Amino acid sequence: MDEASTTLAVQHYLDELAGGAPAEAGGGCGVPPHDQIVRALLDRAARRLHQLCAGVLHRSYPRLTRPPLNLRAAEMLGAVVERLLRALREARPGTVRQFFALATQHMRWELLGMTQCLDKQPPAAELRDGLIPAPAASDTGLTPDARRMLAAIDNLPEDEREAFDLVRIQGMSQAEAARVLGVSVMTVNRRLNRGLKLLTRALSDLRPTKNVPGSD
């Protein structure tokens, strides 16, 4: 399944959704036409969504791939698809770019929710026979500072957030991101730099205290 045909097929289904397929009226086998289109859309996009899940999981949340969760991209994909089934009852992404931006956002939310649940779990009971328990500071999930960083990314302007997602989260080259966004490499570079400046400003208190006072 090549990327170009996937893009064309996804855009076709998005156009059908934009045409106002009713969410309630019965379709074939009792499934509403809207849900039929959404399921066909997600089925056609499954391979690319799986690749995105793997990229976001292993680059930004590698701890979740280890015990006790041992999360795999295929498992994560199932949860993300459920989220998208609900989200697409109201959201109407008009382009392939907007659809995958929505998907990436729900991936981050799903993984953030998992890390929060993991953080709330009580530590494992101390083993007997003199074995040393895991240290309290082990990386069971995201720290409060890491959550702030994720929130700051979500709050970036759309153009800057997309560039950051594609290059820094999904691991694309700037040339690949430019093709996805339909802009030049220079534009991607400019948006990425703006996004990094905004993140630096929003998270300035996390910088080392040895910085010169009053410097930017």
pLDDT in tens, the chain (216 residues): 466 788 889 999 999 988 865 544 444 555 678 889 999 999 999 988 998 888 888 887 888 898 888 999 999 999 999 999 999 988 889 988 889 888 888 888 888 888 878 777 655 444 343 333 433 333 334 567 777 887 888 889 989 988 988 888 777 789 888 887 889 999 999 999 999 999 999 888 876 544 434 444
With 0.85 as the threshold, say if the pTM is over it.
Answer: no
Q: What is the model's pLDDT at position 139?
A: 38
Residue 99's nearest CA partner among 46, 149, 33 is: 46
Alpha-carbon span 147 to 142, nearest angstrom: 6
Distance, in Å, from the CA atom of 165 to the CA atom of 154, rounded to the nearest integer, reads: 10
**Residue 124 corresponds to which tokens in the numbers above?**
């494992």
Write down the pLDDT at residue 168: 82
What number of helices (H) and strands (E) belong to the chain? 8, 0
User: In the chain, where are the structural domains located?
Assistant: 1-95, 143-206
Which uninterrupted H or E stretch holds 42? helix 33-60
- Residue 31 confidence (pLDDT): 63
CA distances from 174 to 49, 117, 206 (A): 20, 34, 27
Tell me, which fold does domain 143-206 have in CATH?
Answer: Arc Repressor Mutant, subunit A (1.10.10)
